[in-house]
C-alpha cells in the first residue's frame, strides 16, 4: 500500500423520484460496465455542486436542483492517489432523460432498500461499485453520510477490502 499524495475530486449525482432512482450504465472509461450515478471530475475553478450539475446535464440530459447527500473517500492498493467523491441527490428534474456517449440512463425501484433489505431490491448492486450497497440506504432516506473504503487490486478489478461508513 502506497501513501497517497494526490486527491482526485469527483462528483456523483442521483435523481430519486416516485420510489425509483435514476442510474446510468457506464459505457466507457473508468467504471465501464458498471451502474452508477452521473458524475465526473471537478474542474479547476468549479465548486463540486457546479461540477455535479454540469456532469448530470452532460451525461443524462437533465438539470436538477441537486443537494449534497454525502462524501466518500476511497484509497486503492497500488495507487498513489485517493478519490474524494461528493454525492448529490435531487427529487425532481427538468428536461428529457437522454442516453449519452458515456451513460445509458435507467430507472430502478428503491423498494427494499429502506427496509434494510438492499440485497433483495432490484437495484443492480452486483454491477455497481462494491461499497455502494453500504451507503445507498442513507442516500435514499436522505440521511447525510460520510465514509471511507479501501480497495485491493486484482488486475483491472477493484475489490472492497474494508470500509467505514456513518451518518452525520
Ligand atoms: P469519469 O472518470 O467518468 O468519472 N467513482 C465511483 N463511484 C462510486 N460509487 N464508487 C467508487 O468506488 C467510485 N470511484 C469512482 C466518480 C468517474 C465517475 O466514477 C465515480 C465519477 O462519477 C471506488 O469522469
Q: Cell 486527491: give the residue.
A: 7
Q: How do residues 58-108 score in pLDDT, each as one tens digit?
A: 999 999 999 999 999 999 988 889 999 999 999 999 999 999 999 999 999
Mean pLDDT of the chain: 93
In the reported structure, the alpha carbon of residue 87 is separated from the centroid of ligand 1 by a whole-number distance in angstroms of: 10
The residues pairing with 163 across neighbouring beta strands, listed in sequence order, are 149
Residue 162 has pLDDT above 70, yes or no: yes
* Mutation test residue for ligand 1: of 9, 11, 12, 58, the one with most atoms within 8 Å of CB: 12
Q: What is the pLDDT of residue 1?
A: 66
* Residue among 104, 165, 109 at smallest CA distance from 140: 109
pLDDT at 156: 80
Cα of 37 vs centre of ligand 1, distance in Å, is 8
What number does the ligand 1 atom closest to the CA of 30 have? 2
With a 6 Å cutoff on the Cβ, whether 30 touches ligand 1 is: yes
How far apart are the C-alpha atoms of 20 and 113, rounded to whole Å?
11
Please report the sign of the dihedral spanned by the C-alpha atoms of residue 92, residue 104, residue 157, residue 49.
Answer: negative
Question: In this predicted structure, what is the pLDDT of residue 55?
Answer: 97
pLDDT in tens, 50-60: 999 999 999 99
CA dist., res. 130 & res. 12, Å (int)? 15
pLDDT at 120: 74
132 lines ligand 1 (CB under 6 A): yes
Amino acid at each position: 500500500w502506497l501513501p497517497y499524495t494526490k486527491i482526485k475530486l469527483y462528483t456523483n449525482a442521483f435523481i430519486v423520484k416516485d420510489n425509483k432512482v435514476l442510474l446510468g450504465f457506464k459505457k466507457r472509461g473508468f467504471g465501464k460496465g458498471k451502474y452508477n450515478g452521473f458524475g465526473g471530475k471537478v474542474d479547476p475553478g468549479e465548486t463540486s455542486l457546479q461540477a455535479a450539475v454540469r456532469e448530470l446535464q452532460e451525461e443524462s440530459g437533465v438539470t436538477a436542483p441537486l443537494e449534497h447527500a454525502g462524501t466518500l473517500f476511497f484509497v486503492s492498493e497500488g495507487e498513489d492517489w485517493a478519490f474524494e467523491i461528493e454525492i448529490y441527490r435531487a427529487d425532481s428534474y427538468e428536461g428529457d432523460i437522454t442516453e449519452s456517449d458515456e451513460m445509458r440512463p435507467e430507472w430502478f425501484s428503491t423498494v427494499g432498500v429502506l427496509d434494510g433489505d438492499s440485497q433483495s431490491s432490484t437495484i443492480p448492486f452486483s454491477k455497481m461499485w462494491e461499497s455502494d450497497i453500504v451507503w445507498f440506504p442513507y442516500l435514499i432516506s436522505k440521511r447525510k453520510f460520510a465514509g471511507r473504503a479501501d480497495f485491493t487490486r486484482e488486475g483491472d478489478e477493484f475489490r472492497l477490502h474494508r470500509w467505514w461508513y456513518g451518518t452525520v
